[in-house]
């Protein structure tokens, strides 16, 4: 029926959604009100078992693949059709919040339940997925489950990774799979008709503009660099400034120049130095070594390519006699989401009379790997002060429910095309 | 006799001096060719016993005071007269060199031996002193023995200090004194007619200008600050730059501004940031906290007062919305050495036809505490590349001997006035 998306949205229950989010937040709850639920930990296992139990209540079929991505499936009327998939991740940062990731999984489940309770049939199956290890807190890199699913990362290499305690990923995965037995086995890269992920914004724009829904048009490109500066130790009292090879002052000059030269009027460029280490670290010794990181992001592929190319020349131009090594460590091109999916999200938000704006995601998400496989998109909802990766992460129940209403409408819309 | 200073200088033996320096360098020798001989350690005790043994060979009387400063005395013809004193320290940095400190003690002993072997009588007694704990590597602060001697630091407070292993200074001192028994007990602050300390330059000026002798006119003033910057953690991808309180970028702006605003054309100002710590330290998190130190030195009292007063306003002017706390931790006024002592050093270097230049010490020395008690001065000799506080510290035998020749001549000159 043509009003099925609206009926699905109307069946979304704000209180039920909130109760389920709070239930999920107990697994790994921290005294400060956050969540420590790292990938393939006991807490992650408990969260997975909870999702499987919810699924059982509705006869939704759970499944799992070889990297532990967990799927919950509501059949469509045409069982052989590729499913429309939603989801996110259940793992958290060591000091994470209740909503980052969990919202996309729990909200996805609420959408399926709303559709089920509204007795809506869809041609395509609907699935909710909890991707393994999006955060990368315990095993690096993050967004691992979706990257292995998409073929960007290789399973064997991931299985051999170790966490800080020396536990191998394959051990932790075996424990996880043993604790969630009897699930259907799923293949990597199976065909999806569409992928739509709901997530808190993790930034301040929706809250600041009083907008309910972020229609995510893409994910900005991300480049990481590690810069090392090698100078010469010297006595702070006896060595004239002109004779020094001061690694700290060179690094300071580089960062000041990068800040100035990479800045844009529209405040779109994201340039961050998050790590800065200086040795030997005695107040009266001229530093001989500095290591700092650069995190550089921009939504436009041509612009980020141009900015990225300037990093090393700017650093070298301010070396001040020191040796400088600039090493790129991550290079992720911007993701442009599928125009039809973006339009579906925009249209359903409009149909529900919810304020919405197009926006680019500042953070990376599992959806960036899915976008290479199938038409993909995301729905953002506001979070308090843009805080995330923080135990104080917060979001309003009404905002969270509005996002799931849009999601439910989109899923029905896409599954009946 | 009027040619006694010259005779004393001529009696200085370069090879004997070198052999004694190498003998002393065995105590605490490191595989990399340096010395680890921290104050009141077993290695320091061995060095002290060595000096006492050398003294015994000439009938020079050893003595010690209550902070462990060790004295070796050659009597004059007028035994009640205040002595002329030379010396430095035997303790080293954990990764120190063979010459910093040891040169002033061993060179002082060589001067006494030369004077003795040349059968020169002096009216005043001559003494060599090894001040306790100049380096401050094990117990802080440094220049402790000379400061307690001069009354700037209080003995009781020093005795209660603990090293990193939890050993109290009074314990370490008891062990040291028990290992060097039978010494005459000396009082703090006893009258000295003059104090002259020989030391490697620890800077590059003498070597670079091919000058044998540095006539040290004073020690520059030293101010330390600890600056803390408190910002706000934020996600590097999602937070627009304009909304950030980035502690690292604020600190970078402060250091860049300090560098620019404190610079002088003559390259006399010494401005060093030796320690810089940044948290939380994740590449994709905007830093919320930075701590850095400032080491600021200048020989002129009025100039350093003016520079020092500008530190906090410059830091506050670049706070960029962060909270900034600027804490002064050390404030040492410049030391001006006694004009008559400076002139004596200059004159004796000239008489020996040694190239010399007036210079200000960039580093602090025990002589700065003695300068408050009696006419004081210092003699510098070149060291390789200005390296010091470094296992690679090096100096040429001929340069070391030239410095001791000037020292021996000065001691005789001053002791017969």
Number of H helices, E strands in chain B: 13, 17
Q: Which domains does chain A have, with CATH numbers?
A: 4-219+335-415 (3.40.630.10), 221-332 (3.30.70.360)
pLDDT given at position B329: 87
Task: List the end-to-end C-alpha distance of chain A, in Å, as a whole number.
Answer: 12
Distances (CA, A) of A416 to A340, A410, B42: 14, 10, 85
Q: Facing residues of A126 across strands?
A: A74, A84
Which of B141, B254, B274, B331 is most worth mutating to test chain A (most A CB atoms within 10 A of its CB)? B274
Residues of B in contact with A201 (CB under 8 A): 238
Whole-angstrom Cα distance, residue A369 to residue A332?
11
Residue B140 has a pLDDT of 87
The residue with tokens 């015994």 is: B56
- Please check whether residue B202 is in contact with residue B394, taking contact to mean a CB–CB distance below 8 angstroms: no
Side-chain-side CA neighbours of A131 within 13 Å: the count stands at 32
Nearest C-alpha of chain A: how many angstroms from B407?
A: 22
DSSP codes, A346-377: HHHHHHTT--EEEEEESS--THHHHTTTS-EE
Residues in chain A with CB shorter than 8 Å from the CB of B224 are: 283
User: Which runs of E-coded beta strand occur in B27-146?
Assistant: 61-64, 70-74, 84-89, 126-131
pLDDT in tens, A105-151: 999 999 999 999 999 999 999 999 999 999 998 998 899 999 999 99
Give yes or no for a contact between A36 and A30, defined as CB atoms under 8 angstroms apart: yes
pLDDT at residue A226 in the model: 96
- pLDDT band for position A185 (cuts 50, 70, 90): very high
Per the document, the length of chain B is 417
Say whether B235 and A363 touch across the interface (CB within 8 A). Answer: yes
Residue at token pair 């073929």: A151
- Sorted by sequence, the CB contacts under 8 Å of residue A6 that are 6+ apart come out as A351, A352, A409
**Min Cα separation A155/chain B (Å):** 26
| Yes or no, beta carbons of A295 and B242 under 8 Å apart | no
The pTM assigned to this predicted structure is: 0.85
Q: Work out whether the CA dihedral B366, B372, B373, B375 comes out positive or negative.
A: positive
Residue A346, token pair as written in the block: 């925009």
In the block, residue with structure tokens 């078992």: A49
Could you tell me which chain A residue has the CA closest to the CA of B297? A237
Check CB contact under 8 Å for B283 and A277. Answer: no
Question: In whole angstroms, how large is the CA radius of gyration of chain B?
Answer: 23
Q: List the structure tokens of A13.
A: 């229950």
Identity of the residue in A235, A253, A290 whose CB atom sits nearest the CB atom of B203: A235
B204 vs A contacts (CB less than 8 Å)? 238-240, 243
What integer pLDDT is reported at residue A179 of this predicted model?
98
Name the residue facing B363 among A235, A259, A362 (closest C-beta): A235
What is the per-residue pLDDT for B359?
A: 97
Residue A96: list chain B partners with CB under 8 A: none
* Contact at CB, B283 and A276, closer than 8 angstroms: no
CA angle B155, B159, B165 (to 5 degrees): 150
Of A310, A295, A332, A319, the C-alpha closest to A228 is A319
d(CA B260, nearest CA chain A) in Å: 11
> Looking at residue A242, what DSSP letter applies?
G
**What is the DSSP track for A173-231?**
HHHHHHHS-SPEE--TT---SEEEEEEE-SSSHHHHHT-SEEEEEEE-EEEEEEEEEE-
Tell me what pLDDT residue A1 has.
Answer: 60
Output the DSSP codes for B161-206: -B-TTS-BHHHHHHHHHHHS-SPEE--TT---SEEEEEEE-SSSHH
Helical spans, DSSP H, in B218-338: 247-262, 301-317
Which residues does chain B have within 8 Å of residue A248's beta carbon, measured at their own beta carbons? 255, 273-274, 276
pLDDT per residue as tens, chain B (417 positions): 679 999 999 999 999 999 999 999 999 999 999 999 999 999 999 999 999 999 999 999 999 999 999 999 999 999 899 999 999 999 999 889 999 999 999 999 999 999 999 999 999 999 999 999 999 989 988 999 999 999 999 999 999 999 989 999 999 999 999 999 999 999 999 999 999 999 999 999 999 999 999 999 999 999 999 999 999 988 899 999 999 999 999 999 999 999 999 999 999 999 999 999 999 888 889 999 999 999 999 999 999 999 999 999 999 999 999 999 999 988 889 999 999 999 999 999 999 999 999 999 999 999 999 999 999 999 999 999 998 888 999 999 999 999 999 999 999 999 999
> Taking the alpha carbons of B365, B366, B369, B373 in that order, is the dihedral positive or negative?
negative
In 3D, which of A238, A234, A283 has the Cα closest to residue B201?
A238
Closest chain B residue to the Cα of A253, Cα to Cα? B256
Task: Give chain A positions within 8 Å (CB) of B290.
Answer: 276
Q: How far is B129 from chain A (nearest CA, A)?
A: 24
Please state the three-class secondary structure of A36-77 as a single string: CCCCCCHHHHHHHHHHHHHHHCCCCEEEECCCCCEEEEECCC
A178: burial class by Cβ within 10 Å (0-12, 13-18, 19+)?
exposed
- Residue-level pLDDT at B1: 60
> Which chain B residues contact residue A293 at CB under 8 A?
283
pLDDT score, position A117 = 98
Structure tokens at B41: 């350690």
């Amino acid at each position: 029926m043509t009003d099925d998306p609206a009926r699905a949205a109307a069946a979304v229950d704000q209180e039920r959604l909130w109760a389920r989010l709070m239930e999920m937040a107990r697994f790994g709850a921290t005294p400060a009100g956050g969540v420590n639920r790292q990938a393939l930990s006991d807490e992650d296992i408990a969260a997975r078992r909870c999702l499987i139990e919810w699924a059982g209540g509705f006869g939704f079929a759970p499944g799992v693949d070889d990297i532990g991505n967990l799927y919950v499936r509501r059949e469509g009327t045409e069982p052989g059709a590729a499913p429309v998939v939603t989801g996110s991740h259940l793992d958290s940062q060591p000091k994470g919040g209740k909503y980052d990731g969990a919202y996309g999984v729990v909200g996805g489940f609420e959408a399926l339940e709303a559709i089920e309770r509204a007795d809506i049939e869809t041609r395509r199956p609907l699935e909710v997925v909890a991707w393994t290890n999006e955060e990368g807190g315990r095993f690096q890199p993050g967004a691992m489950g979706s990257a292995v699913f998409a073929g960007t990362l290789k399973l064997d290499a991931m299985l051999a990774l170790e966490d800080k305690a020396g536990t191998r990923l394959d051990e932790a995965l075996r424990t996880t799979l043993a604790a969630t037995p009897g699930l259907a086995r799923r293949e990597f890269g199976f065909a999806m008709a569409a992928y739509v992920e709901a997530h808190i914004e993790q930034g301040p724009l929706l809250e600041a503009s009083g907008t309910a829904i972020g229609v995510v048009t893409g994910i900005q490109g991300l480049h990481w660099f590690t810069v090392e500066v090698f100078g010469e130790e010297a006595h702070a009292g006896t060595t004239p400034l002109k004779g020094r090879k001061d690694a700290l002052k060179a690094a300071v000059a580089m960062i000041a120049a990068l800040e100035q030269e990479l800045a844009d009027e529209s405040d779109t460029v994201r340039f961050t130095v998050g790590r800065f280490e200086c040795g030997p670290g005695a107040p009266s010794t001229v530093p001989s070594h500095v290591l700092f990181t650069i995190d550089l992001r921009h939504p436009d592929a041509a612009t980020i390519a141009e900015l990225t190319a300037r990093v090393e020349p700017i650093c070298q131009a301010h070396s001040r006699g020191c040796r400088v090594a600039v090493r790129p460590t991550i290079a992720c091109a911007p993701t442009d989401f599928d125009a039809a999916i973006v339009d579906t999200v925009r249209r359903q938000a409009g149909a529900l009379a919810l304020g919405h704006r197009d926006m680019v995601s500042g953070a990376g998400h599992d959806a960036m790997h899915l976008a290479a496989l199938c038409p993909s998109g995301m729905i953002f909802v506001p979070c308090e002060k843009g805080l995330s990766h923080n135990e104080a992460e917060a979001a309003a129940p009404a905002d969270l429910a509005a996002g799931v209403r849009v999601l439910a409408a989109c899923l029905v819309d896409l599954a009946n095309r």
